[in-house]
Structure 1
C-alpha cells in the first residue's frame, strides 16, 4: 500500500464567470520514505495540490489517502513548511519549535528535549534563545523545518520553501534538506518551479502542465547517486530533457 495516494483529485474555485479549474484528475502514489518533487511553473496548481494533501483545501472531486485512511482535514501526521516564514516573532527558536510537542500534550521537559533534538538536527544549536528577527532567511527556514519535524509527522510537505532565498543560500538549504532527510527519514513531497532543485532533491519528479487546470504530465525517475553534483553529466542530461519538455508545455 502506498504511503499517500491521490485518486482523481480535481479542484475548482468559484462558480459561473468566476469559475477557476485549478486541478484536473490527479492520480498519484507516493512510497514510504520517498522524496517526491512536484515540479511546475507558476499557475500550474502545484501549491493547491499540496494544500489538498495537507487538508487545508478540500478537493472538488476525488480523494486523498494517507496510510489507507482518507484525508479530511489538517492533522499532526503531516508537517507543512511554507515559502513565507511563518514563525511566531514573539517566540525564540526554542519556543517556536517546542510549540508542536506542547500542543501534543508532551510535558514541558519532553517538549524542550524534542525541540532541542531538531534544532540540533537542522544545525541551529546555539541559536535556541534567538528571536526570528535576529536570524537570516536560511536560518528562519531551518526553524520552520525543525518545527515541522518536531511534531513527528508521517509525511513532510514543503511548498517552495527556498523561493525567497538568494542563490547561494538556496543551494546550501537544498544540501541541508537532503542531509536532514537522510538522517531522519520521512516521506517528503516538495513543490518547486526550479528544475535543478527538483533533480538535486528528488527520488522522483512529477511534472505538471504549465497551464490551468493542472494535470500530471510526466514522471521522471532520478536514478542519480547521492550526494549529487549540479555539473555531473547525467544531471545535466536530465535537466536538458526536462527543460525541453517543459518548454513544450508553456
Structure 2
C-alpha cells in the first residue's frame, strides 16, 4: 500500500451499530460495532454476501442513515446528514428518464446554483472522462446499462466530493460489461483520485479494484470479520498467480457466492 495510507485517516467509523424496526415493532440489528479507517485516496472495498449490512454501512457514511451508536467522521468532522463531502453511486441507475446525459450530470451543480456556463463546462469534463463524449444529448432509454452507470459516476464526480461511495454499482450488468466497467473505474480513479469505498459481494471484483478489502461476516448483524491488504501492482490480471493465491485465502474464509 502507499505510504500516504499511514497518515491520519480520511474516514473513521468507530463502533457503529444500526438496528431497523420492522412491522410489529420487531427489531432487526443490521450492523454491530463496526470500526473501519479509510485513508486519503485509498480504494477500499467492503466485501460480503447479501444481507450482511454493507449497504447500510455505506449509507451511514454518506449521512443517509444515522447510526444508533458509534460515530462516523470525515476529516475529523462527525457526519450527521448528507453533505457535499460524499458522492454516491447506487446499484440502480437513479437517472432522470426525462433528462439528457448532460442534464443528468449537471443536476447536482444546478442544485448548488452553479451558473449554467460553468456547470456545462464541468459536466462536459466528466462526460468526457467517463467516455461518453458524443452522447451528451441522449436520454437514459437510449443508453446501455454500462453507459447509464457511467452517467451516474460522472454526476457524482461533477460535484467534486472528496469521497466516492459506490454501492454494488455493477450488480445489474452482464459479466463482460462488468469487467469492462471495473477497468474503467480504476482508470477514472487513477485519473482523478478520490477516497473510494466500493461495496460488492464478488471476491474477484474486490481483488481487481481494492487497495484493501474489508470482509464482512455473512449474517446479521454485520460485523467486520477480517481485512486483507491487496499489495499488488496495477493494472491487475484476474489470472495472475498472486491474485489467485489471495483469492483462495479469502474464499476459504468466507461464504460468498462468487
Which interval holds the TM-score relative to the shorter structure? over 0.9
Q: What is the 5 A alignment of 1:144-223?
A: 144-223=152-231
Give the Cα separation in 2 of the matches to 1:53 and 1:45.
Answer: 13
Secondary structure of 1:147 counterpart: helix
Instruction: Give the alignment of 1:2-151 within 5 angstroms.
Output: 2-14=9-21, 18-151=26-159
TM, length-normalised to structure 2: 0.94
Q: Aligned to 2:164, what secondary structure does the other structure show?
A: strand
Alignment of 1:240 with 2:244, yes or no, is: no
Distance in 1 (CA, whole Å) between partners of 2:126 and 2:250 is 35
Q: Within 2, Cα distance between the matches of 1:126 and 1:229?
A: 31
Unaligned runs of 5+ residues in structure 1 are none
Contact persistence 2:49–2:255 (CA under 8 A):
no
User: CA–CA distance in 2 between the matches of 1:2 and 1:230?
Assistant: 29
> CA-to-partner distance for each residue in 1:185-232, whole Å, 9 max, x for gaps?
000000000000000000000000000110001110001100000000
Cα offset for 1:17?
Answer: 6.0
Q: What secondary structure, in the 3-state scheme, does the structure 2 residue paired with 1:227 have?
A: coil
- 1:164 is paired with a residue whose SS is coil
Moved over 2 A (4+): none
Q: Give the secondary-structure state (helix, strand or coil) at the position aligned to 1:247.
A: coil
Q: CA RMSD, aligned part only?
A: 1.1
- Rounded Cα–Cα distance in structure 2 between residues aligned with 1:105 and 1:186: 24
Separation in 1, partners of 2:255, 2:183: 27
Aligned: 1:229 with 2:229 = no
Q: How many residue pairs are counted as aligned between the two chains?
A: 248
Cα distance in 2 between the residues matched to 1:38 and 1:212? 15
Deviations 1:19-44 (A, max 9, x none): 10110101111000000000000111
Structure 2: distance between partners of 1:12 and 1:78: 23
Residue by residue over 1:83-142, the C-alpha shift from the partner in whole angstroms, topping out at 9 and shown as x without a partner, is 001000010000000111122221100000000000000000000000000000000000
